[in-house]
Structure 1
Amino acid sequence: MNQTTSRGQAAFTLIELLVVMAIVGLLLSIGVPRYLVSLEKSRDTILKENVRVLRTTLDRFYSDKGRFPDALDELVQQKYLREVPIDPVVESSQRWVLLPSSDRDKSGIADVKSGAPGTAADGTPYASY
């Protein structure tokens, strides 16, 4: 048995490896941008949901207590939330923009918006959420 022949048949040629690498590169060039877009859309969806949860919780707090909370941590202390949701764009629960009530007789946080700079995938500014 000739060792050269058996090695030559069992190994890949340089051309075969280059073709496989080119195919993998092509697939990655198609897949990675789509993956990044889906990550951005997921972040936007999570942000919208977290804002909705905070607003609903503020409304429930007001309905129960007859006043708005002085801080978001009060919602956690009073067991309305387990924890203050994270703004997924800035990856922090401390960057929410807290808006007071427009009624002078009511103090506390009446509304919340994202403190993230920039815009979502659809062009909507994060600050408008």
Structure 2
Amino acid sequence: MVNLRTTRRSAGFTLIELLVVLAIVATLLALSLPRYAQSVDVAKERVLVENLRTTRDAIDKFYADTTRYPESLEELVERRYLRALPMDPVLENDKAWRIIPPSNDRKGQVGDLKSTAEGQTLDGRPFNEL
């Protein structure tokens, strides 16, 4: 005859075994989450810098082709200098840019753009001065 007591015990995990596994998983999460959060912040900064560089390059090419600055960022998209409006990854918005008009009474409205995000990069530079 089969002993039911030993069959039931070997069929599953005890509460203590489950608690030990949960404690190990919690410890691993506690060690990895700060690194994950920092890597997300670094990635947002890099995307912001790259979006600003690409958009400024498109503004310069537009000026070189037309001898005037664009009236809006949408004009850069319409004229295919950009595929889409640039996204500010810190604000997660493509409409929150601060548009800086060109200097020296040149035609057009968009001479440069900057982020309107509050805060600073990991190296201490304000987002709105990149």
**TM norm. shorter chain > 0.5:** yes
The residue identity in structure 2 corresponding to 1:3 is L
Q: Report Cα offsets for 1:48-68 as digits up to 9, x if no partner.
A: 000001100000000000000
The residue identity in structure 2 corresponding to 1:118 is G
Deviation at 1:98, TM superposition (A): 0.6
Q: Which runs of 5+ in 2 are unaligned?
A: none
**TM (normalized to structure 2)?**
0.94
CA RMSD of aligned residues (A): 1.1
Tell me the equivalent position of 1:17.
18
Tell me the equivalent position of 2:86.
85
Q: How many residues align?
A: 129
**Percent of aligned positions that are identical:** 44
- SS of corresponding position for 1:91: coil
Instruction: Check conservation: 1:67, 1:108, Cα contact below 8 A.
Output: no
Deviation at 1:105, TM superposition (A): 3.7
Tell me the equivalent position of 1:62.
63
Distance in 2 (CA, whole Å) between partners of 1:56 and 1:88 is 19
Deviation at 1:122, TM superposition (A): 2.0
Distance in 1 (CA, whole Å) between partners of 2:104 and 2:51 is 25
Instruction: Check conservation: 1:55, 1:111, Cα contact below 8 A.
Output: yes
Tell me the equivalent position of 2:35.
34
Tell me the equivalent position of 1:128.
129
Tell me the equivalent position of 2:120.
119
**TM (normalized to structure 1)?**
0.95
Q: Report Cα offsets for 1:5-34 as digits up to 9, x if no partner.
A: 111122212211111111000000011111
Distance in 1 (CA, whole Å) between partners of 2:82 and 2:46 is 20
Q: Which runs of 5+ in 1 are unaligned?
A: none
- SS of corresponding position for 1:28: helix
The residue identity in structure 2 corresponding to 1:62 is Y
Deviation at 1:108, TM superposition (A): 2.1
- SS of corresponding position for 1:98: strand
Q: Report Cα offsets for 1:75-115 as digits up to 9, x if no partner.
A: 01111111111101111111111111121244421111111
Distance in 2 (CA, whole Å) between partners of 1:82 and 1:65 is 19
Distance in 2 (CA, whole Å) between partners of 1:94 and 1:105 is 24
